[in-house]
Amino acid sequence: MRNKKQIGKALGRVPSGLFIVTAAHEDHEDAVLTSWVNQCAFEPPALSVVLATTRPARLLVEASGVFILNILGKESNSLLKHFFKPPTDGDIFKGLNVSKGHKGIKILDDAVACLECEVKNQQKCGDHILYTAEIVGGKSLKGGEPYVHVRDTGFSY
Protein backbone atom coordinates (compact mmCIF):
# COMPACT_ATOMS: atom_id res chain seq x y z
CA MET A 1 0.00 0.00 0.00
CA ARG A 2 1.40 3.32 -0.98
CA ASN A 3 -0.13 5.47 1.75
CA LYS A 4 -2.21 3.45 4.19
CA LYS A 5 -3.35 6.51 6.15
CA GLN A 6 -4.74 8.24 3.04
CA ILE A 7 -6.34 5.03 1.78
CA GLY A 8 -7.94 4.40 5.18
CA LYS A 9 -9.36 7.93 5.35
CA ALA A 10 -10.85 7.62 1.85
CA LEU A 11 -12.17 4.09 2.47
CA GLY A 12 -13.85 5.25 5.67
CA ARG A 13 -15.96 7.68 3.62
CA VAL A 14 -17.84 4.79 1.99
CA PRO A 15 -21.26 5.03 3.68
CA SER A 16 -22.91 1.99 5.18
CA GLY A 17 -25.92 1.15 7.27
CA LEU A 18 -26.22 -0.75 10.52
CA PHE A 19 -27.88 -4.14 10.62
CA ILE A 20 -28.33 -7.12 12.90
CA VAL A 21 -28.00 -10.54 11.29
CA THR A 22 -29.99 -13.15 13.23
CA ALA A 23 -29.30 -16.82 12.64
CA ALA A 24 -30.24 -20.21 14.03
CA HIS A 25 -29.35 -23.85 13.51
CA GLU A 26 -30.83 -26.75 15.46
CA ASP A 27 -31.11 -25.47 19.06
CA HIS A 28 -28.50 -22.69 18.73
CA GLU A 29 -29.25 -19.08 17.86
CA ASP A 30 -27.18 -15.92 17.70
CA ALA A 31 -27.10 -12.41 16.31
CA VAL A 32 -24.36 -10.08 15.16
CA LEU A 33 -24.09 -6.37 14.38
CA THR A 34 -22.85 -5.73 10.84
CA SER A 35 -22.54 -2.79 8.49
CA TRP A 36 -21.29 -4.20 5.18
CA VAL A 37 -24.54 -4.96 3.34
CA ASN A 38 -25.62 -4.14 -0.22
CA GLN A 39 -28.33 -5.10 -2.64
CA CYS A 40 -26.69 -7.06 -5.46
CA ALA A 41 -29.56 -8.20 -7.76
CA PHE A 42 -33.11 -7.28 -8.79
CA GLU A 43 -34.37 -10.64 -10.05
CA PRO A 44 -34.38 -12.64 -7.99
CA PRO A 45 -33.84 -10.00 -5.30
CA ALA A 46 -30.52 -10.58 -3.58
CA LEU A 47 -28.06 -8.94 -1.23
CA SER A 48 -24.50 -9.32 -0.08
CA VAL A 49 -23.52 -9.32 3.57
CA VAL A 50 -20.06 -9.60 5.12
CA LEU A 51 -19.32 -11.13 8.52
CA ALA A 52 -16.03 -11.38 10.38
CA THR A 53 -14.57 -14.89 10.54
CA THR A 54 -14.44 -14.58 14.35
CA ARG A 55 -18.22 -14.16 14.76
CA PRO A 56 -20.05 -17.26 16.08
CA ALA A 57 -23.24 -16.25 14.20
CA ARG A 58 -21.33 -16.87 10.98
CA LEU A 59 -21.15 -20.58 11.77
CA LEU A 60 -24.93 -20.72 12.19
CA VAL A 61 -25.45 -18.96 8.85
CA GLU A 62 -23.18 -21.49 7.16
CA ALA A 63 -24.76 -24.51 8.89
CA SER A 64 -28.36 -23.50 8.15
CA GLY A 65 -27.90 -21.58 4.89
CA VAL A 66 -30.37 -18.92 6.05
CA PHE A 67 -30.42 -15.69 8.04
CA ILE A 68 -32.55 -12.64 8.67
CA LEU A 69 -31.21 -9.16 8.08
CA ASN A 70 -32.75 -6.71 10.56
CA ILE A 71 -32.34 -3.13 9.33
CA LEU A 72 -31.62 -0.64 12.12
CA GLY A 73 -33.02 2.86 12.03
CA LYS A 74 -31.87 6.28 13.17
CA GLU A 75 -34.03 5.71 16.27
CA SER A 76 -32.70 2.18 17.02
CA ASN A 77 -30.34 3.22 19.82
CA SER A 78 -31.52 0.52 22.23
CA LEU A 79 -30.94 -2.25 19.65
CA LEU A 80 -27.56 -0.79 18.73
CA LYS A 81 -26.48 -0.69 22.39
CA HIS A 82 -27.81 -4.19 23.02
CA PHE A 83 -25.86 -5.77 20.17
CA PHE A 84 -22.74 -3.63 20.51
CA LYS A 85 -22.18 -5.37 23.86
CA PRO A 86 -24.58 -8.33 23.86
CA PRO A 87 -25.47 -10.12 27.09
CA THR A 88 -23.20 -13.04 27.93
CA ASP A 89 -25.71 -14.99 30.05
CA GLY A 90 -26.72 -17.24 27.16
CA ASP A 91 -29.84 -15.50 25.79
CA ILE A 92 -28.78 -12.84 23.31
CA PHE A 93 -32.43 -11.89 22.71
CA LYS A 94 -33.32 -11.39 26.38
CA GLY A 95 -35.45 -8.28 26.90
CA LEU A 96 -36.08 -7.68 23.19
CA ASN A 97 -39.33 -7.72 21.22
CA VAL A 98 -38.95 -10.60 18.78
CA SER A 99 -41.09 -12.77 16.52
CA LYS A 100 -40.27 -15.81 14.43
CA GLY A 101 -39.46 -15.50 10.77
CA HIS A 102 -38.18 -17.78 8.01
CA LYS A 103 -37.24 -21.23 9.38
CA GLY A 104 -37.90 -20.02 12.94
CA ILE A 105 -35.14 -17.40 12.99
CA LYS A 106 -35.86 -14.43 15.24
CA ILE A 107 -36.94 -11.09 13.81
CA LEU A 108 -36.21 -7.96 15.86
CA ASP A 109 -39.63 -6.30 15.92
CA ASP A 110 -38.15 -2.89 16.82
CA ALA A 111 -36.03 -2.77 13.65
CA VAL A 112 -37.06 -0.58 10.71
CA ALA A 113 -37.56 -3.63 8.46
CA CYS A 114 -36.30 -7.16 7.95
CA LEU A 115 -35.28 -9.34 5.00
CA GLU A 116 -35.38 -13.14 5.12
CA CYS A 117 -32.47 -14.59 3.17
CA GLU A 118 -31.16 -17.89 1.82
CA VAL A 119 -27.41 -18.10 1.19
CA LYS A 120 -26.45 -18.85 -2.42
CA ASN A 121 -22.67 -18.28 -2.32
CA GLN A 122 -19.90 -17.49 0.11
CA GLN A 123 -16.30 -16.45 -0.33
CA LYS A 124 -13.48 -15.75 2.11
CA CYS A 125 -12.24 -12.16 1.85
CA GLY A 126 -9.29 -11.71 4.19
CA ASP A 127 -10.58 -11.64 7.78
CA HIS A 128 -14.25 -11.69 6.66
CA ILE A 129 -16.63 -13.91 4.70
CA LEU A 130 -18.76 -12.48 1.89
CA TYR A 131 -22.20 -14.08 1.52
CA THR A 132 -24.61 -13.52 -1.33
CA ALA A 133 -28.16 -14.43 -0.51
CA GLU A 134 -31.53 -14.51 -2.24
CA ILE A 135 -34.22 -12.54 -0.43
CA VAL A 136 -37.19 -14.89 0.08
CA GLY A 137 -39.27 -12.67 2.35
CA GLY A 138 -39.31 -9.34 4.08
CA LYS A 139 -41.45 -6.67 5.63
CA SER A 140 -41.49 -3.24 7.14
CA LEU A 141 -41.56 -3.42 10.94
CA LYS A 142 -41.32 -0.29 13.08
CA GLY A 143 -40.60 1.82 10.02
CA GLY A 144 -38.54 4.99 9.96
CA GLU A 145 -35.32 6.09 8.33
CA PRO A 146 -32.43 3.60 8.16
CA TYR A 147 -29.24 4.33 10.10
CA VAL A 148 -26.40 5.43 7.79
CA HIS A 149 -22.86 6.17 8.89
CA VAL A 150 -19.28 6.70 7.73
CA ARG A 151 -16.12 5.80 9.61
CA ASP A 152 -13.00 7.82 10.39
CA THR A 153 -10.89 5.10 8.80
CA GLY A 154 -11.61 2.18 6.54
CA PHE A 155 -9.34 -0.07 8.59
CA SER A 156 -11.49 -0.47 11.71
CA TYR A 157 -15.12 -0.50 12.75
- Residue 112 and residue 73 in contact, taking contact as beta carbons nearer than 8 Å: yes
Structural domain contains residue 149 = no
What's 95's domain CATH number? Answer: 2.30.110.10
> pLDDT tens, 110-131?
999 999 999 999 999 999 999 9
Q: What's the rounded Cα separation, in Å, for the pair 142 and 59? A: 29
User: Is residue 25 in a domain?
Assistant: yes
**Domain for residue 113, yes or no?**
yes
Please calculate the CA angle 60-62-66 and round it to the nearest 5 degrees: 75
Residues 6+ apart with CB under 8 A from 30: 22, 23, 24, 56, 57, 60, 92
Closest CA to 48 of 115, 107, 111: 115
Per-residue pLDDT reduced to its tens digit, 38-95:
999 999 999 999 999 999 999 999 999 999 999 999 998 999 999 988 777 778 999 9
Residue 120: its pLDDT value, please?
98
Q: Average of pLDDT values for 18-32?
A: 96
- Name residue 81's amino acid: K
| Number of domains observed in the structure of the chain | 1
Q: Domain containing 100: what range?
A: 18-139
- Residue 36 placed within a domain: yes
Residue 13 within a domain: no
pLDDT band at 1 (very low <50, low <70, confident <90, very high): low
pTM over 0.75: yes
